[in-house]
């Protein structure tokens, strides 16, 4: 069920797009021989896809997963090593590239669900930390091994991990570089569900469908409220920001009228595409 209403979907080479349910796009990292490691070009592909997703008003939820035995091994360390040569422009070094900003530092306006089908190392884990929901295969594992390679996890996960799991757990995870199981990540609150590997995408689609059936305006507004509370220091100021922007726009839209009217008339609402 491909989008039909606004921009055509990007046609990237690293990412493959499918549409498993109404309002849902499945984004699959498809570089299995390299454990879905992300090159600089792959980062820019990701950036293009998320921008398109937020602008495509027939879509409400995205799922990110990987092909093969890995979710993502993170940065392409071979490319990073080559970018460190003496004759390379220092500004072109991979560490000075987008640094996984397209997902691990993405703000965006619509939710993304991680369907972690296998190992998630470095930038792969950084993606997951910033996703809105996470479904993990029971044999998946996670790690920030950057300290063992002389680099650092600079894609945005470190401060976000502290807010999710606390300073001491985050310090153990990031400073030792050890691998962490899906079950441990579930206990820490990073993962929502742990399921058999063959069901990980299906479970993510179920969650996506449960979200996508709701008002597109309300999804965007609710996510904004959650994100403001996570990203900002003051809880009350986060509420104010959401009221002043997203909720004010929601109040001016058609979906709030339709939702309340459908409730009063005891019928299912017929949502319009979001204009938020």
3-state helix/strand/coil string of 14-70: CEEEEEEECCEEEEEECCHHHCCCECHHHHHHHHHHHHHHHHCCCCCEEEEEECCCE
pLDDT at 235: 81
| CA–CA separation, 90 and 87 (whole Å) | 9
| Residue 127 · residue 103 · CB < 8 Å | yes
Q: Residues for the chain: how many in total?
A: 276
Residuewise pLDDT in 10s, the chain (276 residues)? 455 555 667 777 889 999 999 999 999 999 999 999 888 888 888 888 999 999 999 999 999 999 999 999 987 666 655 555 556 565 555 555 555 567 888 989 999 999 999 999 999 999 999 999 999 999 999 999 999 988 888 888 999 999 999 999 999 999 999 999 999 999 999 999 999 999 999 999 999 999 999 999 999 999 999 999 998 878 888 888 899 889 999 999 999 999 999 999 999 999 998 888
pLDDT at 1: 46
Residue with tokens 């809880």: 235
pTM for this predicted structure? 0.89
| CA–CA separation, 150 and 205 (whole Å) | 38
pLDDT at 5: 53
CA distances from 93 to 79, 83, 186 (A): 9, 5, 35
| CA–CA separation, 204 and 62 (whole Å) | 10
| CA–CA separation, 187 and 94 (whole Å) | 33
Pairing of strands 141-143, 180-181: antiparallel
């Amino acid at each position: 069920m491909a989008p039909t209403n606004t921009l055509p979907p990007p046609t990237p080479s690293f990412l493959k797009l499918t549409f498993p349910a109404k309002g849902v796009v499945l984004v699959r990292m498809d570089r299995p021989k390299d454990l879905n490691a992300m090159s600089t070009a792959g980062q820019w592909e990701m950036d293009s896809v998320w921008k398109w997703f937020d602008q495509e008003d027939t879509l409400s939820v995205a799922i990110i997963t990987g092909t093969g035995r890995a979710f993502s091994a993170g940065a392409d360390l071979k490319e990073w090593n080559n970018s460190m040569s003496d004759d390379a422009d220092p500004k072109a070094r991979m560490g000075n590239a987008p640094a996984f900003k397209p997902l691990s530092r993405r703000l965006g306006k619509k939710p993304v669900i991680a369907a972690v089908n296998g190992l998630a190392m470095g930038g792969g884990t950084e993606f997951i930390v910033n996703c809105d929901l996470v479904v993990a295969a029971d044999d998946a594992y996670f790690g920030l091994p950057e300290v063992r390679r002389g680099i650092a996890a600079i894609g945005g996960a470190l401060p976000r991990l502290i807010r999710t799991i606390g300073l001491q757990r985050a310090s153990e995870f990031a400073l030792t570089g050890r691998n962490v199981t899906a079950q441990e990540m579930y206990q820490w609150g990073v993962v929502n569900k742990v399921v058999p590997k063959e069901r990980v995408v299906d479970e993510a689609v179920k969650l996506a469908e449960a979200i996508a059936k709701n008002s597109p305006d309300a999804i965007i507004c609710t996510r904004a409220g959650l994100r403001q509370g996570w990203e900002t220091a003051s809880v009350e100021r986060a509420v104010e920001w959401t009221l002043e922007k997203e909720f004010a726009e929601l109040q001016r839209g058609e979906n709030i009228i339709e939702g309340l009217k459908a409730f009063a008339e005891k019928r299912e609402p017929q949502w319009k595409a979001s204009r938020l």
